[in-house]
């Protein structure tokens, strides 16, 4: 099974691009969605133990947690030491299920793919990109987003230009959904010989 890593900085259209692969029947593992699920299940007790007061109604309150870790490298490292192994376990279970189901291609949607060394798990990497002005406008349009929060998130991410240099494939979402869909189709055709997908 061919494993394609999918990554891109905040606001680049990564989730939309992942959805275009799902449209074509490709199984996709969403690392962000895995974290959301973990914060309502197996991650609640260990995160609450290290960051008392962040659990509410049986789940982690992401706003409270974010206030404690964003812009604080030591706190973020403690959180990642808890969460990353749990995400890895879910990712491994996804890949095993995809192989068992006969998939010839699977996508790992990982925002911090390069930053965490996740490219080592992949046969190739796709970077989702867009013009910086488009990126900023998209992010600042999100509910509750501020310039300060955007900058805190952005500074943790490898610059887009560096990601693009390390990519095997690019999807530019700044040209609209139809163009992105065509680019995904081109990538699938390019991979067809290596994956056996039509």
For the full predicted model, state whether its pTM sits above 0.95.
no
Residue 134 has pLDDT above 80, yes or no: yes
Residue 198 has pLDDT above 50, yes or no: no
Residue 197 has pLDDT above 50, yes or no: no
Superfamily the domain 2-27+103-195 falls into: P-loop containing nucleotide triphosphate hydrolases (3.40.50.300)
Average pLDDT over residues 115-124: 93
pLDDT tens-digit map of 142-169: 998 988 888 888 787 889 999 999 999 9
Nearest-angstrom CA–CA distance, 75 and 159: 23
pLDDT tens-digit map of 57-114: 999 999 999 999 988 999 999 999 999 999 999 999 999 999 999 999 999 999 989 9
Q: Which two three-digit tokens encode residue 146?
A: 């501020």
Domain ranges of the chain: 2-27+103-195, 32-86
Q: Which two three-digit tokens encode residue 158?
A: 């490898």
pLDDT tens-digit map of 9-33: 999 999 999 999 999 999 999 999 9
Nearest-angstrom CA–CA distance, 159 and 9: 8
């Amino acid at each position: 099974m061919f494993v394609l890593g999918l990554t891109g900085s905040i606001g680049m259209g990564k989730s939309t691009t992942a959805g275009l692969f799902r449209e074509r029947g490709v199984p996709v593992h969403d690392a962000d969605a895995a974290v959301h699920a973990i914060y309502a299940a197996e991650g609640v007790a260990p995160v609450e133990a290290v960051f008392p007061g962040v659990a509410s109604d049986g789940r982690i309150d992401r706003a409270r947690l974010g206030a404690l870790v964003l812009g604080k490298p030591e706190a973020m490292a403690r959180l990642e030491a808890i969460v990353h192994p749990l995400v890895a376990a879910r990712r491994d279970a996804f890949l095993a299920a995809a192989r068992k189901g006969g998939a010839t291609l699977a996508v790992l949607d990982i925002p911090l793919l390069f930053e965490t060394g996740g490219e080592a798990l992949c046969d190739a990497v796709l970077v989702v990109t867009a013009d910086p002005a488009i990126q900023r406008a998209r992010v600042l349009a999100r509910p509750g987003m501020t310039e300060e929060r955007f900058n805190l998130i952005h500074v943790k991410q490898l610059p887009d230009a560096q990601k693009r240099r390390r990519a095997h494939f690019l999807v530019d979402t700044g040209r609209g959904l139809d163009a992105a869909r065509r680019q995904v189709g081109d990538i699938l055709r390019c991979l067809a010989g290596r994956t056996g997908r039509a």
